[in-house]
Amino acid sequence: MDPLQVAERVSQVLARLGRRCLVVGSVASSFYGEVRQTQDIDLLVELQLADVATLLAELADDFYLSESAAREAILRKSSFHLIHFDSSTKVDLFVTKNRAFERSRFERSRSIRDGLQVASPEDILLAKLEWYQSSQGTLEKQWRDILGILAVQTVDLEYLRTWAESLALGPLLEKALVEVEPLR
């Protein structure tokens, strides 16, 4: 089972709960830039405490899932993971903080498979800029993903610059745009 099939299984359960999810992270950036091998998949998810029992009931046969980790992540608006037994694929679930940026990411998402959405290239770029900035520039793979998307995709610069300014990422975005120019 490939990571997208595993994500699709999780997405189907979330859809039955009326919750949205998006493929984000390295798998998502691989759709738009440099392909990077990974054994895990990141999902941005809308979850509430009331959803945990259903997640456990529907996923327990196929996935390792810590109920306490899920509950804590939902309360803290952080992340927890599932591990698919048959493939050992790890699925990191990032619980939304319900920021305007996250709502925009869901609205601009694109379908990649029936019932599975991926964030737009611009939104992946912005999220990776956030990760890169929070690491104080130590996550070189994030930077490479950013440059890979910019080198390959025609992006909506107005959208990028507007959100970069709002998220305090403007200088970092401009640095990436200058750095990627020789790669085009």
Domain span at 145: 122-183
Give the pLDDT confidence score for residue 165 in this predicted structure: 97
Examine the domain organization and report whether 92 and 15 are in the same domain.
yes
Q: How confident is the model over 94-105, as pLDDT tens digits?
A: 999 989 999 999
Are 149 and 109 part of one and the same domain?
no
Q: 60 and 150 share a domain?
A: no
Q: What is the CATH number of the domain that holds 56?
A: 3.30.460
CA distance 33 to 17: 32
- Looking at the fold, whether 115 and 153 belong to one and the same domain comes out as no
Task: State pLDDT tens for residues 17-75.
Answer: 999 999 998 888 888 887 877 668 999 999 999 999 999 999 999 999 999 999 999 99
Q: What pLDDT does 47 receive?
A: 95
Q: Do 130 and 109 have their domain in common?
A: no
| pLDDT value at residue 13 | 94
Report the mean per-residue pLDDT for the chain. Answer: 91
Based on the fold, state whether residues 58 and 109 are members of the same structural domain: yes
> Which DSSP helix (H) or strand (E) runs through 124?
helix 121-134
Name the residue among 161, 167, 145 with its Cα closest to residue 25. Answer: 145
Contact 105, 22 (CB under 8 A): yes
Number of domains in the chain: 2
Query: Do 114 and 158 lie in a common domain?
Result: no
Parallel, antiparallel or unpaired: strands 90-95 and 40-45: parallel
Q: So what's the pLDDT on residue 29?
A: 87
Do 61 and 136 lie in one domain? The reply is: no
Distance CA 104, CA 98 (A): 10
Residues 138 and 161 in one domain: yes
Q: What is the pLDDT of residue 170?
A: 96
Q: Does 131 lie in the same domain as 93? A: no
pTM: 0.90
43 and 105 together in one domain = yes
CA distance 54 to 179: 46
Statement to judge: residues 89 and 130 lie in one domain: no
